[in-house]
Amino acid sequence: MKISKIRYTSLEQLNQMERFDLKSMPKKAKWYLQVLAWLLALPETFLYKVKIRKHRMEELKGGYLLLCNHNSFFDFKLATRAIFPRSANYIVAVDGFINREKIMRNVGCIGKRKFVPDTALVKQIKYSIEKNKYICALYPEARYSLIGTRAILPNSLGKMIKKYKFPVATFITNGNHLHQPVWNLQKRRVKFEADMTYLFSPEEIDKLTVDEINQKIKKAFYYNDYQYQLDKNIKIKNKNRAKNLHKVLYRCPHCNKDFTMQSEGTKLYCQECKMTYHLDELNRLKNINGETKFSFIPDWFEWQRKVVREEIINDRYKIVTEVYIDALPNSTGFYRLGKGELIHDKYGFHLQAKLDDKIFTIKKPVLSKYGVHIEYDYFKKGDCVNISTANDTYYLFPVKQEISVTKYHFAVEELYKIARGEK
- The number of distinct structural domains making up the chain is 3
131 and 36 co-located in one domain: yes
User: Is there a domain that residue 1 lies in?
Assistant: no
331 and 380 co-located in one domain: yes
User: Is there a domain that residue 47 lies in?
Assistant: yes
Quote the pLDDT of residue 4. 83
Specify which of 43-47, 166-170, 387-391 reaches the highest per-range mean pLDDT: 166-170
Indicate the residue among 170, 202, 232 that finishes a domain: 232
219 and 96 co-located in one domain: yes
- Region 194-221: mean pLDDT is 97
User: Is there a domain that residue 92 lies in?
Assistant: yes
253 and 107 co-located in one domain: no
108 and 127 co-located in one domain: yes
111 and 207 co-located in one domain: yes
Asked if residue 405 has pLDDT above 70, the reply is yes
60 and 97 co-located in one domain: yes
**pLDDT greater at residue 360 or residue 117:** 360
41 and 98 co-located in one domain: yes
Domain span at residue 284? 245-313
Asked if residue 60 has pLDDT above 80, the reply is yes
Indicate the residue among 290, 313, 336 that finishes a domain: 313
CA nearest 172: which of 120, 132, 225, 236? 225
Q: Where are the beta strands (DSSP E) in 103-230?
A: 110-112, 135-138, 168-174, 193-200
Round the average pLDDT of the chain to a whole number and report it: 96
Indicate the residue among 232, 263, 296 that finishes a domain: 232
Please give the angle made by the CA atoms of 417, 422 and 423, to the nearest 5 degrees: 105
User: Is there a domain that residue 374 lies in?
Assistant: yes
User: Is there a domain that residue 368 lies in?
Assistant: yes
CB proximity list for 44: less than 8 A, separation 6 or greater: 74, 77
User: Is there a domain that residue 409 lies in?
Assistant: yes
pLDDT above 70 covers a percentage of the chain that reads 100
- Region 210-223: mean pLDDT is 97
83 and 162 co-located in one domain: yes
Q: Is 410 left (phi over 0), alpha (psi -120 to 50) or beta?
A: alpha
Asked if residue 48 has pLDDT above 90, the reply is no
165 and 55 co-located in one domain: yes
Helices (H), 238-385: 297-313
What pLDDT band is residue 137 in, cutting at 50, 70 and 90? very high
Quote the pLDDT of residue 46. 87
Asked if residue 20 has pLDDT above 80, the reply is yes
CA nearest 143: which of 414, 405, 416, 418? 405
User: Is there a domain that residue 2 lies in?
Assistant: no
What DSSP element (H or E) covers 375?
A: strand 373-375
What pLDDT band is residue 1 in, cutting at 50, 70 and 90? low
pLDDT digits (tens, 9 = 90+) for 249-292: 999 999 999 999 999 999 999 999 999 999 999 999 999 999 99
